[in-house]
Structure 1
Amino acid sequence: MSVTLIHRLSSLSRADLATAGGKGANLGELMRLGLSVPPGFVVSARAYAEQAREWGLAERISAHLAVNRWEAAASEVAALFEKGEMLPTIESAVRDAHRELGASRVAVRSSATAEDLADASFAGQHETFLDVAGEDDLLLALRRCWASLWSPRALRYRAARHIDHLEVNIAVVVQRMVPADFAGVLFTVDPVVQRADRMLLELAPGLGEAVVSGHTTGDVYRLRREPLAGPTGSGGEDVAEDVAIEDRDRREASRPAPSDAMVLALARLGLRLENHFGCPQDVEFAFEGSTIHLLQSRPITTLYEAEIEPLPPSPKLNRMQQRMVAANDDDRFPVAPKPLDQWGFRMVIPALIHTMRFLGAEVDATEERAMLDQVWREMLVMPQPHPTLRLLGLPGKVAASLRHDWMAWWEAEAFKRIQEACARVDIRALDDAALLGRADRIVQVTTEVLSKRFEGIVSQLAAVALRIPVTVAVGRKRAGTVMGDLVSGLHTRTSDVNLALFQLARRAASAGPDVSRPIREGRPEDLRASVVGRAYLAEVEAFLDEHGHRETTGFYLSAPTWRQDPTPMWALLRGLLDTTEPPSEEASLKRYRAALEEVTHKLRFVPGLPGSFERTLEQLRKAIIYRERSHFDLARSFSAMQAVVADIARRLHERGQLPTPDDIFYLTEAEVRAWLRGSAPPLDEVKRLVRRRRATYGVVNGRWQKRAFQNAASASGNELRGTGASSGVVRGMARIVRSEHEFERLKAGEILVCRYTNPSWTPLFNLAAGVVTDVGGAASHAAIVAREYGVPAVLGAAGATTRIVDGQEILVDGTEGRVTLLGPAATGEVDHG
């Protein structure tokens, strides 16, 4: 082997960070301890540096880096590393090392020289390729690992931590693939509850990459660390503790599990590693028979010197509240809010409490104040309403709301007020007081408009009354499906956005390769290189002017809109390039007419009932359209508030009062106001505060996710049950899409499987043959749009994204609310480490 380009793992130690990167150096150190590490070699950081210099990398991307053009830099690097000719000395050395290793299949893992440090793990930032067979595929994986040093997410990660991009090199670890029986990750200190006397272990059968990357939910073990009477030794490492299994959370009772003896042996190994490296460790491992292979050991970077902040006790929900949270929050708010998101909630919470009182319930003023002042919330639960005699007037209020023309009020008064409060201004030209004044005006107007808007949405309670004659007409078993059909075929603002996006994609497809190729290849910045491309970018700007306030992850100030982060929009355009048929509502209109005819025909035995039913239904349909239209327009308020927050973050950062602009979301509204008025603490104190809040958010969001998936563990067999949100049956290949940044994974005719959807996801319905979600209900945006497009949909199928494998054949029955798992998954997907 070359002494400078290639290094055996067994020759390395943690002193070789600059040569082998964090991963390679740590693996070499583990080998030196006599631990079982799959044999392999490292393509050194020097090899990468020589190749990058040969290709003139720094000269090509320096201009992009200077102005934070991450996407442009990534695209430049990807093309260079894919097509550039590799230095013969490097290629020859890699081929020789591979032959010497003698492994038929290898794992190829990136190992950057700045990763696996005590304050930055870089976990998941760079590529990993498993089961690589043959020298040519190894060289391709090597190029892609090198290129991953320059992915947009890696660039942003380094920028946020003030790491010089051009000072970082990357090595690549090549190891024999372990035919693992079980694999996963061990934390020697529980990073969720921040307890040093506990360990946390997650594992699953097979390879561990799916657990590490979050693509598979493994079995979770919690282990108790217990002090020994005296130190014991193992290989020269004194460890004065032992471990015991405290509890375990088996995701699937029928799934294989390792013996307790293997789990305890791994945990004791973790104690030894922590003692050797001098800090808590995040350990990736694989069990092969009775052997424990170590694949990684790095510091846990989510533990800080400060404790997490005190958290309120988990709210105890009755059954009705549990159903409301599952139906209304799990799909609209898939992650926990951050502290500054409470500023946005101040627009919504008073309006919701006003609505409770309007309906006839009373809310305790103390509970209301606590709701408004709460920083950390485990779920979006409103104060417990107390019924009063005014509830007897509810039917009359619903009837009056149905008769009122809410859309006319919205267009003539409410929307104009929102437009006025959110009108474009030069935010940078405002002084601090004027900037806060703009925010206060937006909050005031939106709260007042929302309070009146919710009085109009009360009319949708008429659906409860209409369910009775529908049940009489078609029977209890079919009532839910028929009710869904009766409110299908509705043209909403979401429909308009989806159609506009489709038309934008068609114009790209017809404009020629100068437009379609950059979109298809995920390099929209290349559109600036041609006249026709720049003209198309102007069309995109016009689209964003009209629709760019579309929210992504709920109404959170911390969740970027399409205007702030257009990546999901470009991914949608990429998927729609080859779609020639526009979204069609004709199928859903036919279902609506057929359902209406069936119900009214069977109700004809009661004089006047069919006509009354049809009139009430038409009013309900108008109410749903009004709800969707007003929701779309209200997103402008949150978008305008986000612009205010972004400029506050810029000001505080430039004044040296905030480490990075993104840290703003871990402050409270009161802190933001005080700091703008000159009361910011010293920067070191701010850094400690932000670290503590980030750690606390990790705990809160972990609880949020656990609650959202609490029913997933009960799913078993080959069938999942949920809510039939859009009728019809379809059979096809499942495509798992986990976030807005994976939209391009869905191809026409596949079945979209995701944790949730919100309005920004619905353009995918023009590609999808069916939709399955973990959470959500028949009244959600996803259900409405699925019915509009005639796409069979099952929402709230708990465990769908963990039970269904990407590429697996499934049967979706949107009428019965059933998903059947059929054939095995297709292979060939690349795992990301």
Structure 2
Amino acid sequence: MMLVHRLSQLSRADLARAGGKGANLGELIQLGLAVPPGFVVSADAYAEQARAWGLAERLSAHLAASRWEAAASEAAELFERGAMLPGMESAVRDAYRELGAPPVAVRSSATAEDLADASFAGQHETYLDVAGEDGLLLALRRCWASLWSPRALGYRAARGIDHLGVHIAVVVQRMVPAEFAGVLFTVDPVAQRADRMLLEVAPGLGEAVVSGHTTGDVYRLRRAPFAGAAAPGPDQPNGAAGPGTNDLAIDDRDRREAGRPAPSDALVLDLGRIGLRLEAHFGCPQDVEFAFAGGSIHLLQSRPITTLGTAEIEPLPPPPRLNRMQRRMLEANDNDRFPVAPRPLDQWGFRATLPALVRMVRFLGLDVDEAEERAWVDQVWRPMFVPPRARPTLRLLRLPQKVAASLRDDPMAWWEGDGFKRLQEACAPVDLRALDDAALLRRADRITETTTAVLGERFERSASQLAAIALRVPIALAVGPKRTATVMRDLVSGLRTRTSDVNLALFHLARRAVSAGPEVAGAIRAGRPEALRGSEAGRAYLAEVDAFLDEHGHRESTGLYLSAPTWRQDPAPLWGLLRGLLDVAEPPSEEAGLARYRAALEEVTRALRLVPGLPDAFRRTLERLRSAIVFRERTHYDLVRSFSALQAIVAEIARRLCERGRLPRPDDVFYLTEAELRGWLEGPAPPLDEVERLLRRRRATYGVVNATWQKVSFGAGAGGASGDELRGIGASSGVVRGKARIVRDEREFERLKAGEILVCRYTNPAWTPLFTLAAGVVTNVGGAVSHAAIVAREYGIPAVLGAAGATERITDGQEILVDGTEGRVVLLRRGDLQDGAGELARA
């Protein structure tokens, strides 16, 4: 059995031993194309090492019970600490020396990876610029372990792939000193244009491009339509003729930064011709990773574009043209509640919120066209949240009067009286199984209608938040324009919100686990909460967790979507938070935030004292503004209950449809529209094979929509990059220096350790318990009034939000300096191993 293979010895026939990535790279070399030299630690080597460690025996029970967190924890410990077979270690060291011991890229290559129907992109680990034999062996272990991450386990389970039947090879390649790098799609996967290529390229190694966050330049190349492509896109003529290989042409280009270096057109066209050659060789459209160095093209990967399989996509609306007001509204959106694109059934939930937003717009004195309003509410595949065009009316002149009236009002008294009471009555628990189909839908309608009405009133009563605009004038007079934003942030620091109350309750729940004894705390640390059922102390603690979920389990995790599970539905993120909080002895102090608030208030009012009555008026307005922010957080927490109640109804409908043979799986329900769901529940449904075709088409369409959504939401932001510094919005004042910890989603909460700096794409209320651990916060998107900003100020930790590309520029474990006052992040020492920012995220 060979443990290590040179890339030049491999081809597509070696999928079982080299994995998808290694086999494809070998195939490219066989075609005579330039590929960086290297070797593959074979899947056989992994299998032999796994057998020596007894991996299957240790994980089989967890896998049978779908305990992904527990399986991942067990595997991670084994791959981190297990003794490597002497022959294995020797073979890897010898191969690395034969390569010349240069800096290398170490990339996972699973045997089920890079197939036409499942790319596994981003599921397994990649490390760049790995130096030295010991560094290589460490990266090898971590690549092996990534086969068993909760994310990879869930991905395989969703596709019916046998966990123990998948092995993993590891590709080791010499790093290319790239001048430019990026990705070529031989068929445009966003516009679904079979007669066009899409190329994204950036200077340097191009990790941001390959990770799906477009900071590079975009080229669109005209080509002959691919013969096996799906149906033409909405703007592509049927049977359109295009140029042949020899007259491939650049249609247009989108230069993201003026004056930035770019590859020559000749090199771009040469790459396009190589893409056509690869497409012809492999027989399907290709996703090609590349690097340009010294005027030559180096291929780093070629794989099928999985979103262009047998399922064609549904027609997508063209990107809307935005006016200035729409652009400003989009830029003001923090994106912390919408990290992924909504699925079709999520629009049912939006029917409760979008009309309330239109009501608020009209309350402010703007007008919205009714046809645009209907289109907005009825959206299914809208590329992003684009509000309808709003036109100013004469009613806008009354806005100051409305804000003043709102400042005199006590919105919390309304909420604790009539507002929340109506919501509670509509969402009161009932036995859903005892309701017939019509009664189940009537309950959903009542929840939706009540939420719309209550939310609309809530928006109107929140007009006092606009006082923040008026307060900037006296603040600027008091401290000068340059310090206005910083002082304004400090003036709304130290707020006690419902979000922080939940975080405090979670902290105390973690402390009770510690006091319950090592058996309870140990099970949580090991990621095995199911083991708590085996002891009296564990069962008592589970009862406390259940009590916590009874009160707070409606809290959203990923976002305000019907398709996003709450803590009650999926408590895995909650257990990850508890695991991290076990080592925190004291809750976060509110004193730091309060001290900033008091100091800023004293500074401003002291400077305003020369104008009689102005300091007192300033204090009164500021306190109303602070109360309005607390009101916003409290009502958001309570309004999520309506989404939780609707989710329970959706789950019951999905159960009934599956039981009646009208839906293959319960989770498929989120790819139906509300009209389909209602119709299939109350009347006839299409044959099951037709339903399955519909679902395949919807899933393929969602992959395209979500890819665009991710690029729009996280590929750009308020910040920017210059050298070793990122710029964003200073959301919480202060400066901290420490180790960055990248947390990519809710399943990775446990990665953050006390005193580290949390770096993530976004946060929402479910993330804020991590602030108890974090020394600082950096996000790709967000703003000064987001949930993250409020909690960071309350806890007194520096935060820079909207630092575009933070999760790509910052490597895991890198030392950084976060200046929340100036809104900048300085990149200092790089981590011991770069994780390479992953691969292009695809649904």
**Do both proteins adopt the same fold according to a TM-score greater than 0.5, normalized to the shorter chain?**
yes
- Any unmatched runs of 5+ in structure 2? 227-243
Change (3 A) 1:108 1:526: farther
Alignment equivalent of 1:490, drawn from 492, 495, 499: 495
Question: In the TM superposition, what whole-angstrom CA distance separates every residue of 1:441-470 from its partner, at most 9, and x where no partner exists?
Answer: 221221222122222112323333344444
1:342 CA drift (Å): 1.1
Change (3 A) 1:7 1:343: same
2:771 equivalent to 1:765: yes
2:281 equivalent to 1:276: yes
Instruction: Give the match for residue 110 of structure 1.
Output: 108
Change (3 A) 1:77 1:647: farther
2:651 equivalent to 1:646: yes
2:566 equivalent to 1:561: yes
Change (3 A) 1:146 1:362: closer
Instruction: Give the match for residue 576 of structure 1.
Output: 581
Question: In the TM superposition, what whole-angstrom CA distance separates every residue of 1:253-290 from its partner, at most 9, and x where no partner exists?
Answer: 57655444433333222211111111111223344545
Q: Report SS of the residue matched to 1:636.
A: helix
1:99 CA drift (Å): 6.2
Alignment equivalent of 1:265, drawn from 270, 279, 291: 270
Change (3 A) 1:89 1:466: closer
User: Quick one: distance in 2 between partners of 1:48 and 1:720?
Assistant: 39
2:70 equivalent to 1:64: no
1:641 CA drift (Å): 1.7
Change (3 A) 1:284 1:697: same
1:127 CA drift (Å): 3.3
Any residues of structure 2 matched to 1:515-526 within 5 Å, and which? 515-526=520-531
Q: Bigger shift: 267-276 or 722-731?
A: 722-731
Q: Bigger shift: 528-537 or 788-797?
A: 528-537
Task: Give the conservation status (yes or no) of the 8 Å contact 1:582–1:766.
Answer: yes
2:634 equivalent to 1:633: no
Q: Bigger shift: 727-736 or 109-118?
A: 727-736
Task: Give the conservation status (yes or no) of the 8 Å contact 1:326–1:776.
Answer: no
1:196 CA drift (Å): 1.7
Alignment equivalent of 1:545, drawn from 522, 547, 550: 550
Instruction: Give the match for residue 235 of structure 2.
Output: none
Instruction: Give the match for residue 30 of structure 1.
Output: 28
Question: In the TM superposition, what whole-angstrom CA distance separates every residue of 1:651-705 from its partner, at most 9, and x where no partner exists?
Answer: 4345444444333322211111112234332333333333333333344344444
Instruction: Give the match for residue 589 of structure 1.
Output: 594
Question: In the TM superposition, what whole-angstrom CA distance separates every residue of 1:734-756 from its partner, at most 9, and x where no partner exists?
Answer: 54444333434444444444333
Task: Give the conservation status (yes or no) of the 8 Å contact 1:226–1:242.
Answer: no
User: Quick one: distance in 2 between partners of 1:717 and 1:142?
Assistant: 31
Any residues of structure 2 matched to 1:672-687 within 5 Å, and which? 672-687=677-692
Q: Report SS of the residue matched to 2:306.
A: coil
Q: Bigger shift: 703-712 or 344-353?
A: 703-712
1:348 CA drift (Å): 0.9
1:806 CA drift (Å): 5.1
2:786 equivalent to 1:780: yes
Task: Give the conservation status (yes or no) of the 8 Å contact 2:127–2:833.
Answer: no
User: Quick one: distance in 1 between partners of 2:134 and 2:734?
Assistant: 46
User: Quick one: distance in 2 between partners of 1:801 and 1:112?
Assistant: 25
Instruction: Give the match for residue 793 of structure 1.
Output: 799
Task: Give the conservation status (yes or no) of the 8 Å contact 2:718–2:802.
Answer: no
Task: Give the conservation status (yes or no) of the 8 Å contact 1:192–1:698.
Answer: no
Change (3 A) 1:423 1:278: same
2:149 equivalent to 1:124: no
2:183 equivalent to 1:194: no
Task: Give the conservation status (yes or no) of the 8 Å contact 1:226–1:244.
Answer: no
Q: Specify the code of the residue in structure 1 equivalent to 2:357.
A: L
Q: Bigger shift: 176-185 or 589-598?
A: 176-185
1:346 CA drift (Å): 0.8
Any residues of structure 2 matched to 1:184-333 within 5 Å, and which? 184-207=182-205, 211-214=209-212, 217-225=215-223, 240-251=245-256, 257-305=262-310, 307-333=312-338
Change (3 A) 1:34 1:618: closer
Q: Report SS of the residue matched to 1:302.
A: helix
Q: Report SS of the residue matched to 1:694.
A: helix
1:80 CA drift (Å): 4.6
Change (3 A) 1:490 1:285: same
Instruction: Give the match for residue 414 of structure 2.
Output: 409
- Any unmatched runs of 5+ in structure 1? 229-238
Change (3 A) 1:244 1:789: same
Instruction: Give the match for residue 502 of structure 1.
Output: 507
User: Quick one: distance in 1 between partners of 2:83 and 2:758?
Assistant: 39
2:380 equivalent to 1:375: yes
Alignment equivalent of 1:818, drawn from 787, 799, 823: 823
User: Quick one: distance in 1 between partners of 2:408 and 2:676?
Assistant: 46
Instruction: Give the match for residue 231 of structure 2.
Output: none
Change (3 A) 1:6 1:485: closer
User: Quick one: distance in 1 between partners of 2:706 and 2:798?
Assistant: 31
Identity %: 77
1:511 CA drift (Å): 4.4
Instruction: Give the match for residue 233 of structure 1.
Output: none
1:192 CA drift (Å): 1.6
Any residues of structure 2 matched to 1:681-720 within 5 Å, and which? 681-708=686-713, 709-710=715-716, 715-716=721-722, 720=726
User: Quick one: distance in 1 between partners of 2:345 and 2:265?
Assistant: 44
Question: In the TM superposition, what whole-angstrom CA distance separates every residue of 1:37-56 from its partner, at most 9, and x where no partner exists?
Answer: 44455454445445555655
Instruction: Give the match for residue 478 of structure 1.
Output: 483
Alignment equivalent of 1:349, drawn from 338, 341, 354: 354
Question: In the TM superposition, what whole-angstrom CA distance separates every residue of 1:522-559 from its partner, at most 9, and x where no partner exists?
Answer: 44445445544444333333222222222234322222
User: Quick one: distance in 1 between partners of 2:600 and 2:27?
Assistant: 69
Task: Give the conservation status (yes or no) of the 8 Å contact 1:488–1:591.
Answer: yes
Change (3 A) 1:137 1:359: closer
User: Quick one: distance in 2 between partners of 1:735 and 1:151?
Assistant: 17
Aligned residues: 820
Change (3 A) 1:74 1:528: farther
Q: Report SS of the residue matched to 1:220.
A: strand
User: Quick one: distance in 1 between partners of 2:220 and 2:300?
Assistant: 21
Change (3 A) 1:118 1:541: same
2:342 equivalent to 1:337: yes
Q: Report SS of the residue matched to 2:29.
A: helix
2:456 equivalent to 1:458: no
Change (3 A) 1:712 1:397: closer
Q: Specify the code of the residue in structure 2 equivalent to 1:113.
A: T
Q: Bigger shift: 91-100 or 696-705?
A: 91-100
2:749 equivalent to 1:743: yes
Instruction: Give the match for residue 628 of structure 2.
Output: 623
User: Quick one: distance in 1 between partners of 2:608 and 2:174?
Assistant: 71
Using structure 2 for the length normalisation, give the TM-score. Answer: 0.87
Q: Specify the code of the residue in structure 2 equivalent to 1:154.
A: A
Root-mean-square deviation over aligned CA pairs: 3.5
User: Quick one: distance in 2 between partners of 1:417 and 1:226?
Assistant: 60
Task: Give the conservation status (yes or no) of the 8 Å contact 1:810–1:819.
Answer: no
User: Quick one: distance in 2 between partners of 1:294 and 1:587?
Assistant: 52
Using structure 1 for the length normalisation, give the TM-score. Answer: 0.88
Change (3 A) 1:443 1:134: same
